[in-house]
Amino acid sequence: MTARLIDGNALARSIRDEITSRVQGLRASGVQPALAVILVGDDPASQVYVRHKVADCESVGMRSILERQPTSLSEAALLARIHALNTDPGVHGILVQLPLPAHIDAGKVIAALSPAKDVDGFHVQSAGALMLGQPGFRPCTPYGCMRMLQSVGVDPRGRHAVVVGRSNIVGKPMAMMLLQAHATVTVCHSATADLGAFTRTADILVAAVGRRNTITAAMVKPGAAVIDVGMNRDDAGKLCGDVDFAGVREVAGWITPVPGGVGPMTRAMLLANTLDAAQAAQARSAG
């Protein structure tokens, strides 16, 4: 079997098109959705991510406010900036690019965000809402993975989903979303004994580890839907995921490529969350 591709670029494009027309509607009623992005320091990868986020906002007609701060910025000064943005009615979403310099406590910074503007979905209130099945912002990467499954008609209900990785931003929220969609969910991590024994029983397999070739063809159930979140470099310096794509595509039913899979969907879901934040703010001010 050769797996069918879940094309993250194409799906993200169609989501962005839909967002563009919803943004036009909001702007016609006097509200331009706005995302504030705070970048502290000069980490090269973070600079690229932030540039993409700003360009994405502009491409759908949203406003972006990019705040570049020096590495020497104090924690207190960053918290003060967040408080100011929390109360600024012209700002609907706030994103603090991680990682932060070592002298700043990222947990404290995320806790300072207004949950109403937490478009990354990292605040404890957003995490709690997901856990309880209540409305709230969903972390963009797992949210994008769910949309990818939905787009090709893979319904998690009654299926065994295996998530490899248990980070707070990908693995854990991914597991909660699959559970909410009625999958039976197993979460694997670095202390899992015999990873393959679990992955081979997965109808839906999500790899979010950060190590290439973690998932090989022998670890995949024939016909499974395989979502590759990983972002790694191969020996030639080319971007690759956690999944041995060439081998696994011969076994799986569906597979996401890297690049062109989860990455563009993560970016699209940030726009979706920002739009939702702006619409919710408009509804609050109207009511």
> What residues line the site for ligand NAP (CB under 6 A)?
141, 164-167, 169-171, 188-192, 195, 208-211, 214, 229-232, 262-263, 266
Q: Is the dihedral of CA 163, 19, 51, 280 positive or negative?
A: negative
- Which among 56, 97, 117, 203 is annotated as catalytic? 97
Q: Is 97 a catalytic residue?
A: yes
- Shortest CB 26 distance to ligand NAP, Å: 26
Closest CB to ligand NAP among residues 103, 189: 189
- Shortest CB 54 distance to ligand NAP, Å: 17
Q: Is 125 a catalytic residue?
A: no
Q: Are the C-beta atoms of residues 139 and 120 closer than 8 Å to each other?
A: yes
- Which among 118, 120, 228, 276 is annotated as catalytic? 120
Closest CB to ligand NAP among residues 104, 207: 207
- Shortest CB 29 distance to ligand NAP, Å: 32
Phi-psi region of 54 (alpha: psi -120 to 50; beta: other; left: phi over 0): alpha
Q: Is 120 a catalytic residue?
A: yes
Closest CB to ligand NAP among residues 69, 213: 213
**Cβ neighbour number for residue 251 with a 10 Å cutoff:** 20
Closest CB to ligand NAP among residues 240, 281: 240
Q: Is the dihedral of CA 90, 93, 97, 100 positive or negative?
A: positive
**Cβ neighbour number for residue 248 with a 10 Å cutoff:** 24
Closest Cα partner for 176 from 121, 115, 228?
121
Residues with active-site annotation: 53, 97, 120
